[in-house]
Structure 1
C-alpha cells in the first residue's frame, strides 16, 4: 500500500496518509479546530437563554426572603442587597410568579416574603437538599448554570 504526504489545510502540518484515504491531521489541536469548523456551536439567543438558563433565586435579607429571576445570576447578585443566597431552581418569570403565589400567605411585598414562614422554609430545605453543594448555594448555582450553558446537563 502506498502513502501520500499531504499538508493539513488548517495547520499546514505534513501527514502521511494511505493513497486514496481521506486526509486526517495528526495534530490534536488542529483536529479540535477542524471539528469546530465542521460543527460550529450555535449562538444562544436571549429567548433560548431565558428558556434554558433562567434561574429563580431565593435570597435572604434580614427577616425577609426575596424570590426573583435572572439569566445573569452573578450580575444580579452584585446589584441586589442580600445577606445570604439561600437557594435556586431553574425557571423563568412564570415559575417565579408561581412560587410567589404558592407562598402568598407570607407576602410582604410582591417579591419579598416573611423568612419565618414554615411552608417557605420547608421548600427551601428541599431545594438545598437537591443542590450539588447543599451548604454553598452560590457555588451550586454557578456550577449548575455553567453546566447547562455548556450543554452538559439534561434539561
Structure 2
C-alpha cells in the first residue's frame, strides 16, 4: 500500500488519493522513522490532530520535542521507566497497546486494564506492550494493514515486518513476563 515507505500518520482521509494527501505529505518527512522516540512523536502528532490543531511544520517540530521528552521519561535510568512488568496486578493503569498471539495470528489492541482484557480475549501468548492508546493502536493497524486478516479489524498475519516490530517493542519496553490469563497450554 505504501510501497515508497512514506510515513502516513495524518489520517485515513485521502489514503490512496495522492492529490488529497499532498498538503501534509512533506510534514511526514520531518519525522525520522529510526528516531528512538518515534512512537511517542506519533502519539504527540495524534493528540494534536485529535484536538483539532492544524498540522504545520512548527506543530510537527513541537510534537517531535514532546515525543522525545516523553521517550526520555519512559527510559529513565532510575528504573521509573515504563516496563512491561510494571502493569499493576489489578485495576486501571496508563494505556498500553498490546500484541498477543493466538495460533499464527497477532491481535493489536489497546487497554487501560490489561489483566481484565487478557481474561476477555484469552490469547496463547502476550508478545509485547508499548505505551500508547487508540492513536498508536490505529497507527499500528494502518502500518500493518497489508497483513490484516480479511474481515477482521485487529487481527493480523504474523508477517516478518510485524514480527520485527514486536521484537523492537520487547527490546525497548521489556518482555511481558507477568502471569496473565491465557489459553491453557
Please report the TM-score for the alignment, with normalisation by the length of structure 2: 0.44
Q: Any stretches of 5+ residues in structure 1 without a counterpart?
A: 1-49, 142-155
Report the number of matched residues.
87
SS at match of 2:130: strand
- Find the partner of 1:111 among 135, 141, 154: 154
Question: In the alignment, which residue of structure 1 is the partner of 2:89?
Answer: none
User: Is the 8 Å Cα contact of residues 60 and 86 (structure 1) preserved in structure 2?
Assistant: yes
Aligned pairs for 1:42-53 (under 5 A) are 53=94
- Find the partner of 2:171 among 111, 125, 129: 129
The answer to whether residue 142 in structure 2 is matched with residue 101 in structure 1 is yes
**Counterparts of 1:99 and 1:139, CA distance in 2:** 23
| Larger relative contact order (Cα-Cα within 8 Å, sequence gap ≥ 6) | 2
Superposed CA offset, 1:20-71 (max 9, x none) = xxxxxxxxxxxxxxxxxxxxxxxxxxxxxx9x81010000001100000000
Aligned pairs for 1:58-77 (under 5 A) are 58-77=99-118
The answer to whether residue 178 in structure 2 is matched with residue 139 in structure 1 is yes
RMSD after superposition:
2.1
**Counterparts of 2:97 and 2:177, CA distance in 1:** 13
Greater share of strand: 1
Q: Any stretches of 5+ residues in structure 2 without a counterpart?
A: 1-91, 181-185
Question: In the alignment, which residue of structure 2 is the partner of 1:83?
Answer: 124
Stretches (4+) displaced over 6 A: none
SS at match of 2:101: strand
Please report the TM-score for the alignment, with normalisation by the length of structure 1: 0.52
User: Is the 8 Å Cα contact of residues 131 and 140 (structure 1) preserved in structure 2?
Assistant: no
**Counterparts of 1:84 and 1:111, CA distance in 2:** 16
